[in-house]
Amino acid sequence: MDMNPYVEYMREIAQPMRDELTHAGFKELITPEQVNEFIEATEGTTLVVVNSVCGCAAGLARPAAKASLSNDKTPETLVTVFAGQDREATEQMRDHFGDLEPSSPSMALLKDGKVVHFIPREDIEDHEVEEIVSNLTRAYNQYC
């Protein structure tokens, strides 16, 4: 599959942003089929991070997602989709979020494949990492 230079460039630029989560234990879902297979097979709790190239993903969302994993209670499974990169997979995951507005970056805590807690971009942007970690850990303590 030949990629145009722009797509190839953006993939290269985004790779460290992907690696930041995958190195922390998140599994990347890059196709709609992978998303569907995951949702159908998942049990228990899952943190889904909708990753993005924006500054608030880099400075807030990814660091908060990683820091939240030091809580006593954490999700059993960690997955990520990349908005703007893996568009179809991201759309498919958002379909599983129900009526929630699409938001990048964002984080969803799922229990048995259903959203039980959601953190949209507006609860990430202009917030401190510690506030986002507290938001996540409160949800973990309630649902995990």
Which positions are annotated as active-site residues? 54, 56
What does the alpha-carbon distance between residue 111 and residue 123 come to, in Å, rounded to a whole number? 21
What is the per-residue burial (b if ≥16 Cβ within 10 Å, else e) of 46-55? bbbbbbbbbe
8 to each of 15, 91, 109, how far by Cα in Å?
A: 11, 21, 31
CB 113 within 8 A of CB 44: no
Among candidates 127, 86, 46, 38, which has minimal Cα distance to 135?
A: 127
CB 53 within 8 A of CB 84: yes
